[in-house]
Structure 1
Amino acid sequence: MSRLPHLAQRLFNTPIAIQPQKAEIVVAALADRLGVTHMFRDGSMRALSQSSMLLADEDRAPDRAYQVVAGVAIIPVTGTLVQKLGTLRPFSGMTGYDGIRINFLAALNDPDVEAIVLDIDSPGGEVAGCFDLADAIYSARGQKPIHAVLNESAYSAAYAIASAADRITVPRTGGTGSIGVICMHVDLTKALSESGVVVTMIRYGAYKAEGSEFEALSKDALARMQADIDEMGELFCDTVARNRSIKASTVRGFEARTFLGASGVDAKLADAVAAPDAAFAELLGSL
């Protein structure tokens, strides 16, 4: 069964903490499958050919718990992050906050686990559920060592999760940052009109269905949506500032900039530059 409507619902008209470039790729993929490719530029469609895994309609792999290597639980945080995926492992280019949470809590209570590694390579994803998960990881500090090993990057929502760990390592070519929130509003009115389709919204309540893709976005609606995005952005900055013990004003000053390798360490968004295997070996040596 196609999962396109489900993916579209998670991408459009809802706040997401994801790299804009990744968002363009996913939007272009949906546009191609929905037959409205002309809405997006050719560059996004070319990028799609390298990222088609996200929309693969495949059977779910059996759920697997985290792996334990030499007393270290390894929890994967890869691909696009979503609130509820319903599986403990990454699936079809996505990882669910629900699976990360269950694995993390299980590892905390596992007597065979001495430390936890968040194995991260993600452009980010949904805002919903992200900060609750980051808070849960942050509040567990001190129970067992928690290391975020970037393999290769942690952007946006993925960085919010990484920041909750005790220690963050990033490879030379890996990235951190993109501390911000976006919301993509899709206006289908012209496309529908050209297709001979007219959608009439019948509502109770002046704000019901505000921001619908079937209506042009009014200035008042845009202002209210922007206010929500600003509030979530402030929450993101405050969360990172708390987790990394840096000033919130400093985080806001990044203006969602991304940092490559050592630049992330200089910005205090990571603790060291290290290849994933070296970071893992260092953790083992400390146990």
Structure 2
Amino acid sequence: MEIYQHNRTFQENSTVDNLGDLVWYLLPIVVTVPPMGLPMNAPVIRLLLGKPGICSTSEILTLNLALIDTLFCFMLLAEYIHFVCSQTVEAANFLAWGLNQAGGPMMLCLLSLDSYMAVCHPLVFLRLKNPNLRVSLCLVVNAFAASCCCLVKVNARFKWNVIMAILSTTTVTISTCNILILKSLRRSGPSRKDIHPVKKRAFKIVLTAFVLINFHYISPLVFYLLTQIFPEQFSAISIITCLCYLNVSVSSLIQPLSYLVRTKQLPRMRCHCGSSAKEETVVSV
């Protein structure tokens, strides 16, 4: 207990002393992520909302994930400006981090479960294909993510306990779905031509979620464990903090980019932008 109290006191003192450094450590994230994340998520939201009729179940979850990433970019900008003005420990606990590290992984987990049900249990999936069910699940996830953000803001000591529980659960769930879908695809036949397009799309969704969880969200957990085990060697606020949070924040622009590439919308957007630029040039001439 004395060692724990000493580690916590050491981290709190180092945090207070390094708040000025934290402003500069977070500056690269604020300069790069929101200006790139907002243009990436905007076309995804426009494409999904512009579709006639009811979207597929995975697109409902993807739309909600894009909205979470867009809100994260706006909150990150607003909270960083507030932190620069005040530079207090309370202002350093960004609500945006809780939204990104709780809402994003849970939505990726729902996408994986939805794809798993579509591939491995198609009859049950057809019975539960009502879009209202997906909308209700999105509302539950959003409410839970908002609760996590408020909990982190009130008491930052609960932050990593909540994040570790969420990331551990989502990682295990997504990995299990990925393995089960792979097994189902191997049973479809020795030739890839025998694989149904729905199964191919589901596998791409789960694989994307699996890569995002392991690449973007595991690094901050490893860094937190190192700061708890070796508090004198690993400061709570350092250049490693910037790299970890930059890695987490980049997920808000990698996810919409992967959707545009997966649905083959990115080349169309480039062609559309190129043709519009040519038309403007002709008109100006």
TM value normalised by structure 2:
0.25
Q: Which structure has greater strand proportion?
A: 1
Q: Could you say which structure has the larger radius of gyration?
A: 2
Structure number having the greater helix percentage: 2
Select the structure with the greater relative contact order (CA < 8 A; seq sep ≥ 6).
2
